[in-house]
Amino acid sequence: MKGVRETFSRYDSADYLKTEADMAAYLEACAEEAPNDPVFMLKALGTVARARNMSQLAEAAGMTRAGLYKALSGAGNPSLANTMKVAKALGYRLALVPDRQGDGGN
């Protein structure tokens, strides 16, 4: 079957986050999957942000659209303050909770 090419479409979880409940469940699942991986969680916030209007979100967070994309891409390294602003603009807040494993993060 020489010459046959398969084409694949790009999968983006943001395309499937239609409701606030979908977005909340997605973030909760991501937090459970990788609770100590900041890059993973930033990408998860980015996915939720893409499911919404990035321009409005950037304005609400006090960032440029390009800055918001970079911060949430996993390639950026946003400050805690900027991460908190993005979470607030999305309708969430960051919270510290006791580690379920009880090892103090060690």
The pTM assigned to this predicted structure is 0.80
DSSP 45-64: HHHHHHHS-HHHHHHHHTS-
Query: What separation in angstroms does the CA of 29 have from each of 14, 55, 66?
Result: 14, 26, 27
Per-residue pLDDT of the chain (106 residues; tens, 9 = 90+): 577 888 888 889 999 999 999 999 999 999 999 988 999 999 999 999 999 989 999 999 999 999 999 888 878 888 999 999 999 999 999 988 888 766 555 5
* 29-89 placed in CATH 1.10.3470: no
